[in-house]
């Protein structure tokens, strides 16, 4: 398992696509955006307090139905990994450590590489503006917020580094961990 955490427009999706190309084995992608897109429209509209709402300033709030479905999605991703698939998760841990804990619990017993994907807020906001599908301010608001108190095995910065270069750094880390596991080295990162 690889879990990428970073704010909106930090470059996670591009890194996932590149990782799928540079890693030697097939890896599935599981993105929070795909999960949100799979929700019923009423839970995405912002009019239902049970769902997800995006504030004009870029803030995000979620209700109990969203949380329950997100927990089920997380458990499904973990089950997929337990069934033998390699999975790269692309998420935005808005609650910092409180958002990381449910993933840690769902992924108990799996080898997980936690990767922090950082990006300068102004650069991320520029990318979000160019995409045209994010509320203004969301990338700026999330840039530092999502990393506060979150523990990582590896951190990368996409401000001036291309997705492919970042993916190669992560892939190298994955390869080293796999070799250390194969060699029985209990001192490998994340052990």
Residue whose pair of structure tokens reads 């458990």 in the numeric block: 75
Is residue 69 classed exposed, middle or buried when 0-12, 13-18 and 19+ CB atoms within 10 A define those classes?
Answer: buried
91 is catalytic: no
Closest by alpha carbon to 34, among 115, 104, 88, 103?
A: 88
Classify residue 23 by its DSSP letter. S
Q: Which residues pair with 31 in a beta bridge?
A: 90
CA distances from 180 to 74, 167, 191 (A): 27, 20, 10
CA 115 – CA 106 distance, rounded (Å): 17
Where does residue 60 rank: exposed (0-12), middle (13-18), buried (19+ CB within 10 A)?
middle
Which one of 25, 33, 120, 157 is the catalytic residue?
33
- HSE of 135, CA atoms in CB hemisphere, 13 A: 13
Give the catalytic positions in this structure: 33
């Amino acid at each position: 398992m690889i879990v990428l955490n970073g704010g909106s427009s930090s470059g996670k999706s591009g890194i996932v696509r590149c990782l799928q190309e540079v890693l030697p084995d097939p890896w599935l992608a599981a993105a929070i955006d795909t999960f949100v897109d799979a929700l019923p429209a009423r839970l995405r509209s912002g009019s239902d307090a049970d769902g997800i709402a995006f504030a004009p300033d870029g803030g995000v709030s979620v209700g109990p139905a969203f949380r329950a479905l997100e927990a089920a999605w997380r458990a499904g991703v973990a089950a997929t990994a337990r069934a033998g698939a390699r999975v790269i998760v692309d998420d935005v841990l808005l609650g910092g450590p409180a958002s990381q804990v449910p993933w840690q619990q769902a992924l108990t017993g799996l080898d997980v590489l936690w990767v922090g994907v950082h990006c300068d807020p102004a650069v991320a906001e520029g990318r979000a503006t160019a995409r045209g599908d994010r509320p203004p301010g969301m990338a700026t608001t999330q840039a530092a917020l999502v990393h506060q108190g979150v523990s990582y095995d590896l951190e990368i910065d996409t401000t001036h580094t291309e997705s492919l270069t970042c993916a190669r750094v992560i892939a190298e880390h994955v390869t080293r961990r796999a070799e250390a596991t194969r060699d029985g080295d209990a001192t490998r990162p994340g052990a």
